[in-house]
Amino acid sequence: MENILILAINPGSTSTKIAVFKNKEQIFTKNIQHSNEELLPYKKITDQFEFRKDVITRVLKDEGINMDDIRIVMGRGGLVRPIPSGVYRVNDKMKQDLMNSPLGEHASNLGGLIADHIARELPDAQAYIANPVVVDELEEVARISGHPQFQRRSVFHALNQKATARRHAELQNKKYEEINLIVAHIGGGVSVGAHRKGRVVDVNHAIGGEGPFSPERSGTLPVIELLKYCFSGEKTFEEIKKMLIGQGGLTAYLGTNSAYEVEQMVTKGDEKATLIYDAMAYQVSKTIGEMAAVLEGDIDGILITGGVAYDKWFCERIRQRVHRFAPVYIYPGENEMEALAMNGYRVIRGENEVKEY
């Protein structure tokens, strides 16, 4: 097979990660940081489109990447409408929803928009997204919350969870669609998914207040106590939302959202940091236990991934609590760029069906 260049684009709130792959080999990557001053003029995230696109093309040109050789442009999927997992061609309907997302603004919405624009300027390229955070494969029973006013939703680290699950299956000489796994992504947020034969049939809403607390999110809280606080008049809705998502978890307890800094506190014998960090591992373990029940105990493996998975002490605290359910495997890192590129590579090889949004 000829050498194919794949460009992966992953916009974050204050950075844009790009990577170029030749088939399965990464040949270039860069994390482009955007200062507050650079982003200040833009009222909406989608207003940053031209700015970020121009930065990407300039960096690639400076690196000497021949843009005309790019055949696949993979954008990080944003807050589109709930869809099954897979690779989706960027079409007009998707672009409309990325511009005016029904689920809210997020920097990842720019991924598909920029990928489409770059692909259109190249002689022989196609733009796709893969496994956005709104991948929804929940079983109907998992959608029931406890009150008909509220429905449980699927919002999680689908890109890395799916990629890690497929990688693990390949290493076990099995197909992802033939095994049952529990995957815990532990980064700035935490999502724990039950993967039954290729579908994530249940998962905590990673930014909706469900599941374990994380470096900057509060996770599930005592509902009545939270209600009392909400109606106390002490904080506005936006202030409370920021407490739950952005300033919760380790940030609220220990004043830092850096798991590495907390790891160092634990190493130095800080008793409070040790208790809080262990409590985070404890809550991840409890959620893994929930997903073990979802899979009815038929589990081929428990996979721990995300940035915090580099911390051996933290992972061991989880392993000690859940190893009787199934063997535990550690796959550190976010792996988002590789995951995007490999989805594109499988499209080239005809192993991934390209879906229409």
pLDDT tens for each residue of 157-182: 999 999 999 999 999 999 999 999 99
Q: Which two tokens stand for residue 304?
A: 């721990």
Architecture of domain 140-326: 2-Layer Sandwich (3.30)
Query: According to CATH, where is 3.30.420.40 located in the chain?
Result: 5-134+337-356, 140-326
Residue 158 CB partners (closer than 8 Å, separation 6+): 85, 131, 132, 133, 134, 135, 200
Edge-first strand order for the sheet with 126-130 is 25-33, 15-22, 5-11, 70-76, 126-130, 87-89, 354-356
Secondary structure element (H or E) that encloses residue 73, with its range: strand 70-76
- The answer to whether residues 21 and 6 touch, using CB atoms and an 8 Å cutoff, is yes
Torsion of CA 281, 305, 13, 5, to 10 degrees: 180
As a three-state string, the secondary structure of 288-307 is HHHHHHHCCCCCCEEEEEEH
DSSP 249-300: HHHHHHS---HHHHHHHHHTT-HHHHHHHHHHHHHHHHHHHHHHHHTTT--S
Please name every residue paired with 88 in a beta bridge, in sequence order, or none if there are none.
129, 355
Tell me what percent of the residues of the chain surpass a pLDDT of 90.
88
According to CATH, the superfamily of the domain at 5-134+337-356 is: ATPase, nucleotide binding domain (3.30.420.40)
Per-residue pLDDT of 285-340, as tens digits, reads 999 999 999 999 999 999 999 999 999 999 999 999 999 999 999 999 988 999 99
* Other C-beta atoms lying within 10 Å of the C-beta of residue 141: 9
**pTM here?**
0.89
List C-alpha distances in Å: 134 to 14, 247, 288, 347.
21, 23, 21, 21
Kindly state the DSSP code that residue 77 receives in the 8-state scheme: P
Helix (H/G/I), strand (E/B), else coil: 357: coil
Give the burial string for 65-87 (b: 16+ CB within 10 Å, else e).
bebebbbbbbbbbbbbebbebbb
Measured in degrees and rounded to the nearest 5, phi and psi for residue 270 equal -65, 115
From CA 274, how far away is CA 210, in angstroms rounded?
23
Per-residue pLDDT of 223-264, as tens digits, reads 999 999 999 999 999 999 999 988 999 999 999 999 999 999
Closest Cα to residue 156, out of 308, 306, 343, 328?
A: 306
